[in-house]
Amino acid sequence: MAVIGQDISQARRVLEAGDLVAIPTETVYGLAGNALNATAVASIFDTKNRPSFDPLIIHVPSLLVAQNYVIEIPEPLRKLAEHFWPGPLTLLLPRATSIPDIVTSGLDRVAVRVPDHPLTLELLAQLDYPLAAPSANPFGYISPTSPQHVDAQLGTRISYILDGGKCKVGLESTIVGMEGNDIVVYRLGGLEISEIERIVGQVKVKSHSTSNPQAPGLLESHYAPSKPFLIGNLDELISKYQSQGIDFAVLSLAKTFSFIPSENQIALSARSNLKEAATHLFAAMRMLDESNTAVILAELMPETGLGRAINDRLKRASTKA
């Protein structure tokens, strides 16, 4: 398995050898390689078994450095960067020629962000290249929010995991770009729409696509457990599977059921706090996926605040069911 530690110098040595390192961010753990090295980026796709038409996000230490890898930053997006970087915001910007085609899947825009994690910011500050870093998990599976999650899934394929503890946001970044004069949210994530609109006014929200996405992380089937994952009214779903004699696990916002073993149910937030629920979502899905049950039953969250982003992940996790 991989070495888990906090040695930034070791992480840098691995990256400079053209190999991959798992890095912590406030959202999820990323599988990182030199974004300017097409061979290293190809290794990311290979290690994750990620389709080459799904572009990657590059990570930089600051807005100032980001400007080196893009042609321009439109003023509304610059305002967002000034307010929310470091943080769970990714900007889709016209790329500079230094960014290899493989990073953007041949598209003319590159996804850029400044992650809000002290270890990774320190690592990025010591590098003279950005890091391409999708989530550090096999493609399509639940995103990792701890170094142990990464090790369990990719520990035999990478040598080093930079240990930044548990991720404090727990949902991938919100991706924002522009089409003409319109500000467009391409992926719901850890930065709420209301916060974005507070800075730049009304935005358009695009739904995810099934192929040839314009931005990272937009495929329909994604973030999915290996077990069937069903969304609906929990009381009705539980009654149905009880009557069929099928063992099940339950994922709810706050509700618990006295007749279900505690190890087979998780409430994301006893206070129905959606930020807390977002932090716990992927770890909870992973725990229930490892339970001795045949299926996971879940409910949608309120469509407010981060509830919209959580529901986006729940719906895409349920595609295989």
Q: Is 29 marked within a binding site?
A: no
Examine residue 61 and say whether the peptide bond preceding it is cis (omega within 30 degrees of 0): no
Q: What is the pLDDT of residue 206?
A: 87
Q: What is the pLDDT of residue 122?
A: 98
Q: Is 41 exposed, middle or buried (0-12, 13-18, 19+ CB in 10 A)?
A: buried
**pTM of the full structure:** 0.92
Give percent of the chain above pLDDT 90.
Answer: 90
Q: Is 293 marked within a binding site?
A: no
Q: Is 308 marked within a binding site?
A: no
Tell me the pLDDT of the chain averaged across its residues. Answer: 94
Judge whether residue 269 has pLDDT over 90.
yes
Judge whether residue 275 has pLDDT over 60.
yes
Q: Is 155 exposed, middle or buried (0-12, 13-18, 19+ CB in 10 A)?
A: middle
**What does CATH list as the number for 229-320?**
3.40.50.11030
Q: Is 156 marked within a binding site?
A: no
Q: What is the pLDDT of residue 142?
A: 94
C-alpha dist (Å) from residue 225 to 106, 151, 156, 282, 313: 30, 17, 20, 10, 11
How many residues make up the chain in this entry? 321
Region(s) of the chain under CATH 3.90.870.10:
3-205
Q: Is 27 marked within a binding site?
A: yes
Q: Is 160 marked within a binding site?
A: no
Q: What is the pLDDT of residue 316?
A: 87
> What digits encode the pLDDT tens for the residues 295-310?
999 999 999 999 999 9
Q: Which two tokens stand for residue 320?
A: 């295989």
> What digits encode the pLDDT tens for the residues 201-260?
999 998 655 445 566 766 666 678 999 999 999 999 999 999 999 999 999 999 999 999
Region(s) of the chain under CATH 3.40.50.11030:
229-320
pLDDT band at 321 (very low <50, low <70, confident <90, very high): very low
**What does CATH list as the number for 3-205?**
3.90.870.10
Q: Is 187 marked within a binding site?
A: yes
Q: Is 50 marked within a binding site?
A: yes
